[in-house]
Amino acid sequence: MKDGLGSVQSVLLLGGTSEIGLAIARRLVAPRQASVVLAGRDQAALKTAADGLRDSGAGRVETIDFDALDTAGHQRVLDEAHRLIGDLDVVVVAFGLLGNQAMDEAEGGGAVALASVNYVGSVSVCLAAARRLRTQGHGTIVVLSSVAGERVRKANYIYGSSKAGLDGFAQGLGDALHGSGATVLIVRPGFVTTKMTAAMSPPPFSTTAETVAGATDKALREGREIVWVPGLLRWVMVVARHLPRPIFRRMKV
């Protein structure tokens, strides 16, 4: 449970090697040397990430196995994290695939894998997290969505549609948890410059993992339900959402 000053004391990061997820964890753990569980598939990479968090001021840091596609094991992941560090103040859902649209359109298998990880896996583990937080009576699930899901563009409609589905699910989950003490924070960043996007040309309104982390930290402290990064994207998407489809279809976006 958060301390008397409202500082986070425990974090579960699902997607424990995610650059954005780790940036969020660093922001949350340092003030009170919070405990962290990093959950992912690559144990060697998780160990490196854990060492980095300790250097950044985290207290206890544990690593556990987590596979987005192993939906039958997701409740065990939440139970194990709770066993290791107690009640979970924040659960960050930070895993996902970006995909390669040209290849995924041509072959199909990549699109199915992307949808399975980004949507199905996220839905499954968010529900497991919600059950845990309901039992605790407190805690926040931080869902890393994307501006790509606000109005799905032809240039990345496979990825965008997976984020659109996740975003809608997270909104509904937040409403379902209302009054339980548990909450959901939806983070909608634009293009984030990370190793995963290093080969891509940053579009306007690009941001960084550290900026996303700072905005997430602030939103958690303010008790918000949705945060856009950068904030200006909220108003850009108000316009984009209402563009007539024939016009939007002709745009090179």
- Residue range 55-94, pLDDT digits in tens: 998 989 999 999 999 999 999 999 999 999 999 999 999 9
Percent of the chain with pLDDT strictly greater than 90: 74
Catalytic residues: 159
pTM of the model: 0.92
- Given this model, what pLDDT does residue 5 score? 46
Q: What is the mean pLDDT of the chain?
A: 91
**Stretch 199-217: mean pLDDT:** 85
Alpha-carbon dihedral angle through residues 195, 199, 205, 211, given to the nearest 10 degrees: 10
Q: Over 80: is that where the pLDDT of 4 sits?
A: no
What is the domain partition of the chain in residue ranges?
10-250
pLDDT at 198: 65
Q: In angstroms, rounded to a whole number, what is the distance separating the alpha carbons of residues 69 and 77?
A: 13
For residue 235, name the pLDDT band (cuts at 50, 70, 90).
confident
Tokens read off for 7: 């500082």
- The CATH number that domain 10-250 falls under is 3.40.50.720
Sign, CA dihedral 5-139-169-203, equals positive
